[in-house]
A and B are shown apart, each in its own frame.
Chain A
Amino acid sequence: MTDRIELDPDESAYNFAYLDEQTKRMIRRSLLKALSIPGYQVPFGGREMPLAYGWGTGGIQVTASVIGPDDQLKVIDQGADDTTNAVSIRRFFEIVGDIRTTERTADATVIQTRHRIPEAPLKEGQVLVYQVPQPEPLRNLEPRETETRKMHAYSEYGPTQVTLYEDIARFGHIAKTYDYPVIVNGRHLMSPSPIPKFDNPKMQDCPAIQLFGAGREKRIYAIPPYTSVRSLDFDDHPFEVQTWKGCCALCGSTASYLDEVITDDKGSRMFVCSDTDFCKTRQASAPQGSGQRR
């Protein structure tokens, strides 16, 4: 045994974007497979990451594998650039990759997201990386992986359709509000990750590449650009998205997804855009004094 505990205080050099190059290559191969079979969950050798599973380890691994020194990274959580987890992940890539970051959707080449798709339309050349807690859309119907894999193989998606029907029988409408299942490219049932169903239509025929990383479950899946993404529904009960009566209290938008902010304990509340960049951009271009509170 040594007299002192010998650890080098300077031993803090990590590879570009944290992951070693072999791991990145393995993940990129999984991504290529995922893009070739849209919506299919590709198992991959997920690594332990320096943040907790469920906090974006899958998204971070995907981002680390596709990002390069010329990229500009945007990270959002619940649509916002300034929420704690988004700030933390953005800082991580600044530290381990010296990567340029941005809050502007239009300027970003890689956007890592949790629970939202930006309101501004995405374009070719952009990559949207989703953090996925639960990639298996059939998990709540069948907890066993051995069974769900067979169900995907046989396109046995009737039970999912039945759960939606049960909602209609009971409530008169479908009661699923987020993580609303979709059929990708007419073949695979896919979890869109827990985005509100409001965002589902943005996945359809999207010019950007959409990559989904589930770190804890060690699965990657993808939607290539311009691919069909259909939300499950019925002819007489077509898919619908959330709407609000009012508009954003800051920018006046009536077309964006709104968050509820409680302003006192007497039931007062206001609604604001969850997409902070979208909201700020609108506020900057709006004439002064039109319903602005900041």
Chain B
Amino acid sequence: MTYVAVKGGEFAIVNSHKLIAEARRGDLKFGELSLGQIREQFGLAVDRVMVEGSVYDPDLASLALKQAQGDALEAIFLLRAYRTTLPRIAISEPLETANISLRRRISAAFKDLPGGQVLGPTYDYTHRLLDFRLAADGDVERQQAEVADVPLDTAMPRVLDILGDEGLIEPELANRNPTEPVFDLTREPTVFPAGRDQRMQNLARGDEGFLLGLAYSTTRGYGGAHPFVGEIRMGEVAVVIVPDELGFAIEIGEITVTECQMINQFRGSETAPPQFTRGYGLSFGECERKTLAMALVDRALRSRELGEPVRYPAQDEEFVLSHSDSIEAVGLVSHYKLPHYVDFQAELQLVRQLRAEYEASQPNEAAE
């Protein structure tokens, strides 16, 4: 019998790195992926990495995806680790999504409304049939969408504002003092009870799958939600900052965002009349599934504030906020792969001892 040392030597680690580099590159018969190809053709993957990595940089997100062999969580991890080294130059003014250059805008609450329904790029009405034409290398017929004769209406009133004018939906109120700085999840420790700013940041960076599952549970009996998509907007919006040295607002660029306003039923409470309530979601890029889930979970997390009983996981702030971050979750779950010889030896000893005591305490059945 041979004794096999299971300690990871330096040589083993270096070799393991070479092995993933080899696996990442794959068969050399195929061309190397360029960052441009990833950014342009895997745009939705890039957008997810940007949101959960919380850096708006499609090129960096493409690099992260390439390095991570397309694994979203690993790419998010790479981006997060990079962002933490960046200095905080400024905090932008709130985005004005009323002035968005729309590519998509839909409402499920009204059949038609000023500005109209704008389908934009969506997989919603594709039949999920594999398109074997895409398997043909390179020679796929290039398709281009028809351009409308008239540009989109510049006046695109928010659906929730229309309901607000009638007093049918709760007013949009910031539940914090506007002179106080916004909570910064990346610089301050989590505190409970959490303000909505902290919750929204957590949800924006939270794992899409986890939030989706929670959002699903609220509509399936574990949360009693009755949601309507008031409005989804996707498009480009200006980022504005007010530098201290200038004292006035300047536009520093444009980013793509997806915004979801969810309308939820509310029967009223001791202090509030019956009305609709809001759930909100916002993401970088095109991340509609994420913002929908975010808006549903945001609404569920407002249960306490609205005087509803907190009975289900999605309504439990501590449960949701503590477990939604994929990087934190991966960290602890994967750490179990690390050596635990010492603690395990201690447990092993204890179980052997308890076992011996248990057996000694049993009546001797052979005597009967």
- A: residues with CB less than 8 A from B are 1, 3-5, 7-12, 14, 49-52, 55, 78, 80, 84-85, 87-88, 91-92, 95, 134, 136, 139-140, 142-143, 170-171, 175, 259-265, 267, 272, 274
Contact = CB atoms under 8 A, between A and B. Distances in A.
Interface of B: 27, 29, 110-114, 119, 124-125, 127-129, 132-133, 135-137, 155, 157, 161-162, 165-166, 220-222, 224, 267, 274
Contact of B166 (A9, A170, A267): A267
A262 B114 contact: yes
A262 B162 contact: yes
Contacts of A143: 220-222
Contacts of A55: 124
Nearest to B224: A140
Q: Is the interface of B mostly helix, strand, loop or mixed?
A: loop
B2 to A, nearest CB: 35
Given A5-B137, A7-B135, 4 more contacts: A8-B132, A50-B129, A51-B128, A85-B125
Contacts of A264: 114
A8 B131 CA distance: 10
A9 B114 contact: no
Given A12-B132, A134-B220, A265-B162, A51 B127 contact: yes
Contact of A139 (B29, B125, B129, B220): B220
Nearest to B132: A9
Pairs of residues from A and B, 7 with the lowest C-beta to C-beta distance, nearest first: A143-B221, A7-B135, A265-B157, A50-B128, A88-B125, A262-B113, A139-B221
Contacts of B132: 7-12
Contacts of B114: 262-265
Contact of A9 (B119, B136, B161): B136
A4 B137 contact: yes
**Which of A1, A9, A272, A274 counts the most chain B CB atoms within 10 A?**
A9
**Which of B133, B220, B221 counts the most chain A CB atoms within 10 A?**
B221
Contacts of B128: 49-51
A175 B268 CA distance: 12
Nearest to A84: B125
Contact of B119 (A5, A51, A84, A136): A84
A95 B29 CA distance: 38
Contacts of A91: 127
Nearest to B312: A143
B135 A5 contact: yes
Contacts of B125: 84-85, 87-88
A88 B222 contact: no
A265 B155 contact: yes
10 contacts: A4-B137, A5-B137, A51-B127, A136-B221, A143-B222, A171-B274, A175-B267, A261-B112, A265-B162, A267-B166
Contacts of B165: 267
B112 A262 contact: yes
A85 B127 CA distance: 11
A88 B157 contact: no
A190 to B, nearest CB: 17
B356 to A, nearest CB: 41
